[in-house]
Amino acid sequence: MLKQSFVGVGAVVLVAWVLTAQNPAGPVIDSALQALGSHDLKTMQFSGSGAEFCLGQQYSSTSGWPKFNLADYTRVINFDGPASRQTAKRSQSQPMSGGCGSPVADSNQQSFIAANAPWAQKLEILLTPQGFLKYAAGHNPALVTRKVGKQAYNVVSFKEGKYTMNGYIDAKTNLLDRVETWLENPLQGDMLVEAKFSDYKDFSGLKFPAHLVQSRGGFPVLDLAITDAKANVEANLQPPAPKGGGKGGAQKKGGPGGPPAPPTTEIQKLGDGVYLLTGAYQSVAVEFKNYVAIWEASSEARAAEVIAKVRETIPNKPIRYAIFSHSHSDHTSGVGTLVAEGITIIAHRNNKPFFDSALAAPRTLLEGDKMAASGKKPKFEWVGDKKVLSDGKQVVELYLVKGNIHDNGNLMMYLPKLKILVESDVYNYTAPNDYVHPWHANFLENVERLKLDVDRVIPTHAPPMGRVVTMADVRASVKK
């Protein structure tokens, strides 16, 4: 895998052959655009169907990201921006597993990428053959030749700020085989992003791959079968109109029509040595004789906040353990802060292959990454069906939620003295309705199987209005 740095230049040059005289990559890009019938391409549209996959919400370490069907997929690109608009019809794929809001209702999808969009958004345009070649042409590309197996490639690379992007052009056909780059990810460090192109087809003079696959972190995030592509279409791209309406100035956070104010973290004492840290993602701190264990530190900011609040409340004892309920990114992205603090992470052993791979990646792109700065290595303790933390007085029981379709390594934490059960994403409070969520029924089955005496359930995702959730709420949600 080639990962180099090159000095970038200013304005985007959309016509590749201007590089020919002064840059060895120029003739290669020129030939590749000719092979695609794209020398004079200003705009493009391609359509098809397939699937998208939700990054960081895997069912297991080997299953990949959860899948959702896409029909009537269309992307329009204006290379002068570059700017783009994408539309599709999205629906739940079966069998259903993993996170990202499953099960989802059918919906119409629309996204817009403006000319001044951040790199991570603009990247969607560059993860197409024409998008990569046209952008590379104006960004001082470098050229090396390389063999991958028996295949010879001309590898065109360019630098955009701290990001490097490489395109592998088949030396015989001049067709772009794949592109790769890396994006920062709080859990996976320098996360590999790839797009692979195959089965090129001639669409009335415009060549485009009939099969396009994008991957992030080693698993697909987009898999499309392309049925149509058109050159130089009308592409007066405008962002979608904002929902709602009304005149007037900007609203204050939390005001009418504005985004809700972020919840304030407070510490509530649940019992002797047990504290609830409120917020959109709730955490629990448990004090033992010689140390403290915390449940969930969902993001880098949240992890830092939880650590500070716990040390303020329990100042004379070290935080020894952080318990991860499961491996999904919205629950584990605070890992860098925890590792930097020397805190041992407790997680289910089914998640071990994922964490081993994610945390082994380089961490050069994350700004202010505490884990990289500390030089410390992650420390884990792996759980099977059950693990008990006890000092003879304080007792915490960790159990695997068996048969759960959200994550096959999902733990819940039981505090027997307080009859409190803490969990993540196996039960999220909702008012009773006619729909029985499969996670909720499975959660109740596990509580009954383990014969746990529970008065209160604390979901990591905070219930509305600070509601205290009981097993009666759980039974009502599954009509039992």
Kindly give the pairing relationship between strand 292-295 and strand 319-323.
parallel
Percent above pLDDT 90 for the chain: 82
pLDDT at 194: 98
Give the pLDDT mean for 350-378: 95
Tokens of 191: 């996360």
> pLDDT tens digits for 185-220?
999 999 999 999 999 999 999 999 999 999 999 999
Category of 179 on φ-ψ map: left (φ > 0), alpha (ψ -120 to 50) or beta: beta
The mean-pLDDT minimum among 184-193, 229-238, 278-287 falls in 229-238
pLDDT above 50 for 223: yes
pLDDT above 50 for 36: yes
Place of tokens 């039960």: 427
| 16-231 and 267-477 share one fold | no
Q: With cut-offs at 50, 70 and 90, classify the pLDDT of residue 434.
A: low
Please count the helices (runs of H) and the strands (runs of E) in the chain.
10, 24
Tokens of 72: 């009537």
Give the pLDDT mean for 376-384: 97
> pLDDT tens digits for 50-106?
999 999 999 999 899 999 999 999 999 999 889 999 999 999 999 889 999 888 899
Give the pLDDT mean for 343-353: 97
pLDDT above 90 for 12: no
pLDDT at 93: 94
pLDDT at 102: 82
Q: With cut-offs at 50, 70 and 90, classify the pLDDT of residue 167.
A: very high
- Is the whole-model pTM more than 0.85? yes
pLDDT at 466: 86
Q: Which residues contact 79 (CB under 8 A, 6 or more apart)?
A: 14, 41, 42, 43, 44, 130, 131, 134
CATH class of the domain at 267-477: alpha beta
pLDDT at 241: 65
410 backbone dihedrals φ, ψ, rounded to 5°: -90, 125
Half-sphere exposure of 332 (CA within 13 A, CB side): 25
Instruction: Write down the mean pLDDT value for the chain.
Output: 90
What DSSP line would sit under 371-405, residue for residue? HHHHTPPP-EEEESSEEEEESSS-EEEEEE-TT-S
Q: Which fold has domain 16-231?
A: outer membrane lipoprotein receptor (LolB), chain A (2.50.20)
pLDDT at 253: 37
pLDDT above 60 for 129: yes
Residue 166's beta-bridge partner residues?
157, 180
pLDDT at 89: 98
Q: Lay out the sheet containing 83-92: strands in order across.
A: 107-113, 83-92, 67-78, 43-53, 219-231, 206-216, 189-203, 176-185, 163-170, 151-160, 142-148
pLDDT at 46: 98
pLDDT at 263: 52
pLDDT at 228: 98
**Where along the chain do its domains lie?**
16-231, 267-477
